[in-house]
Amino acid sequence: MKRAIDFLRSEVFIFLTLLLVITSQIIHTMYLFETVRVFDLSFEIASYKITVANWVHAFIFALAIESAILMFILNGKPTPSKIYAVASFATNLLYYKVWMMPIPTICTSILISSMMAGSIWFFSDLLAEKINVTTASSTKEEEELKKILIANDDAKKINFKTTMPLSGR
């Protein structure tokens, strides 16, 4: 049981969960990007319209946009990450076309939209916190090791200077 709880608290589980939420959000962003596309990358082969280039372009765009929150938080930029989280919320509302729905569906769409954007924001923040705690503890250990090594070097220098004959100084 302890191992299961440790895994659920781990950076790996948080990261995997974050990837799942970002993947869901990427679909919404791709769809919206595709609906406002200005330059059409599709082509025709034997009267079949091939749109794969459009969707690959939309995927790359969406992946970059949705990964931005994680990148900002991991790099200590909380303000841009909050702006992107609000933009993700707006993206979801546009995706669900809430203005065209009955009130109960609007409420559901707003709830889902806020949960997705909030999950990306909070999971990113939690992951950054976990990583910073790990980095901070390893940094303390590294600093202590450096102090020991420096002290050891100083001791060698002192011993070297005191054991050297006067004629060699």
Each residue's pLDDT tens digit, 28-61: 999 999 988 888 899 899 999 999 999 999 999 9
Phi and psi at residue 44, in whole multiples of 5°? Answer: -115, 140
Give the pLDDT of residue 154.
59
- Tens digit of each residue's pLDDT (9 = 90 or more) over 113-166: 999 988 888 888 888 888 886 656 556 666 776 777 676 665 555 555 555 555
Residues 50 and 44: beta-carbon distance below 8 Å = yes
pTM above 0.75, yes or no: no
- Report the C-alpha gap between 144 and 89 in whole angstroms: 45
Beta strand 48-50 with 43-45: parallel, antiparallel or unpaired?
A: antiparallel
Give the pLDDT of residue 121.
85
The Cβ-side half-sphere exposure at 77, using a 13 Å CA radius, reads: 11
The Cβ-side half-sphere exposure at 112, using a 13 Å CA radius, reads: 17
Phi and psi at residue 40, in whole multiples of 5°? Answer: -90, 120
Contacts 24+ apart (CB under 8 A), 23-26: 24/116, 25/62, 25/66, 25/88, 25/91, 25/92, 25/116, 25/117, 25/120, 26/59, 26/62, 26/63, 26/66
Give the pLDDT of residue 32.
92
Q: Is the pLDDT of residue 169 over 70?
A: no
Taken as a whole, the chain contains a residue count of 169
Give the pLDDT of residue 84.
83
CA-closest candidate to residue 97, choices 13, 158, 28, 9: 28
